[in-house]
A and B are shown apart, each in its own frame.
Chain A
Amino acid sequence: MAAYMDLNMVSEEPANLFSKLKIAEKLGYDMVAINHVVEDMAVLASASKKEKKKKIVIPHPNEVKVDDAKLRTNSINVSGRPFKQCSRLSTIITDPSAAHRLHSPEVQLYDLIAVQPTSEKTFLLACKTLNVDIITIDVTQKLSYQIKRTLINLAMDRGLFFEIQYSPAIRDNSLRKYTISNAQQLVLMCKGKNVIVTSGCKRPIELRGPLDVANLGVMFGLTEAQAKAAVSTNCRAVLQHAEARRLTKSTIGVERISLPITVDAANGKQNDVSGEPKQKRAKIDDSCLLKDKEAVT
């Protein structure tokens, strides 16, 4: 069983975010993903062409995250365990033609990329071709498309994961029925595999502990082992998938495995990378990707 993670924590101003991380740590999470939400890629694409003024700027992942030094020093490690963060970008795709924007360098800089399809067409696109890690299932309204097993299998073969958020229903009780029914639809179709349950919380009070969330998973139709995997092992697999995604365009990528979750058993002591051969890499046909990688590591 890997560490508990919450791969969706909506980003906001640093002070609030920091208090959220503190709560997450207290509740027993070892890692969170700070989520930067871009409402619609289509707006972004068109704006960048026509009206330069209105262009939405995607911030660098480091601006989204809490300062690493602050995280380490500011006594957030109450239990002495290492606490980690990573960056995530999510967007809603309404227009299939704008989806290529996801492959742009500034988007690919993020550790995780998630999309939320809104129609049959975009769901197909997300499952079949989009180079992302997470497909978010909308839990705030009735699904406008049908979840088909063939598409799910396609996505699972590509190692994609489906995300269910629980905190929209905590914010607004009336959304529970959509959360439960959409989640149950999904679980029925994917047989409980490749599901992650995340918070998507805006305020600290909306966060729930990992075991509470696993218990919700049981309510969505997962078995107990699957439910626990949905907050731990599956999240770890998402991170590995993301790592692989960023390497796919290269012919060879050699580097010391430094997944954010591989940590020593010691209190926060991390693998000492010094003395290891520097990150070696064969020629990469996409120069921007190389830049990404360096920026990330």
Chain B
Amino acid sequence: MHWRPMQKHWRVGGHLAVSHDFLGMGMYEKQVSKGHLPYCYLKVRLDFEEDVDPTDIDIIIFKHIVLQAVQSLFGEAASCTPIDVLKYRQTNREAILRVSSRYFTKLWASLTWYSCYSEQSCAFRVLQVSSHLMALAANSRQLSLA
């Protein structure tokens, strides 16, 4: 059987190594992405200084707040970058955000500086960040022994 290595590079970008090995029956493939993966994911929570009725902030308003945070620090151009609210839980205002990894630091900084929504002091708490959405499914630091 004639076998030719695939030369096509993956679109994950950055430095990457593609190796192929002809092993017995099947074909072994390995792709290593060390550079920027396409997206970064943040698990965040919006905390208010005083208790706020959870129904006050729904997912639309939450997204608006995130965009407002980015726009006030980096301006119109930056707020055009797609930021997705993948998941939002209204009871504790916890969300998973997805952003292109190039804008990750900027988004994070914008969230850190954000301090006030409709004259109420608030703060974004960034709980977990990762370049793999799967990684946000478990957090071993939350393991309680009780």
Contacts and interface: CB of A to CB of B under 8 A. Distances in A.
Interface of A: 27, 166, 169-171, 173, 176, 203-209, 211-213, 215-216, 218-219
B112 A216 contact: yes
A213 B111 CA distance: 11
Contacts, number: 49
Interface residues on B, range: 20 to 34
A215 B115 contact: no
Contacts of B122: 205
Interface string B91-135: 000000000000001101101110110000111011001000000
Contacts of A166: 112
Contacts of B115: 170-171, 173, 205-206
B49 interface: yes
A60 B86 CA distance: 52
B112 to A, nearest CB: 4
Contact of A203 (B73, B109, B111, B121): B121
Given A171-B115, A205-B123, A215 B105 contact: yes
Given A170-B113, A170-B115, A205-B47, A212 B108 contact: yes
Contacts of B81: none
Contact of B109 (A27, A209, A219): A219
Q: Give the one of A173, A203, A205, A207 with max B CB within 10 A.
A: A205
A205 B125 CA distance: 10
Given A169-B113, A170-B115, A208-B123, A176 B108 contact: no
B19 interface: no
Contacts of A211: 126, 129
A278 B128 CA distance: 46
Contacts of A207: 123
B31 interface: no
A171 B116 CA distance: 9
Nearest to B47: A205
B74 to A, nearest CB: 10
B123 A176 contact: no
Contacts of B126: 209, 211-212
A219 B125 contact: no
A203 B115 CA distance: 12
Given A171-B115, A173-B115, A212-B108, 8 more contacts: A173-B72, A173-B113, A205-B48, A206-B121, A209-B125, A209-B126, A218-B105, A218-B109
Given A173-B72, A216-B112, A203 B49 contact: yes
The 5 nearest A-B residue pairs measured at CB:
A205-B49, A212-B112, A170-B115, A205-B121, A215-B108
20 contacts: A27-B125, A171-B115, A173-B115, A176-B73, A203-B49, A205-B48, A205-B49, A205-B115, A205-B121, A207-B123, A208-B112, A209-B126, A211-B126, A212-B108, A212-B126, A213-B112, A215-B108, A218-B105, A219-B106, A219-B109
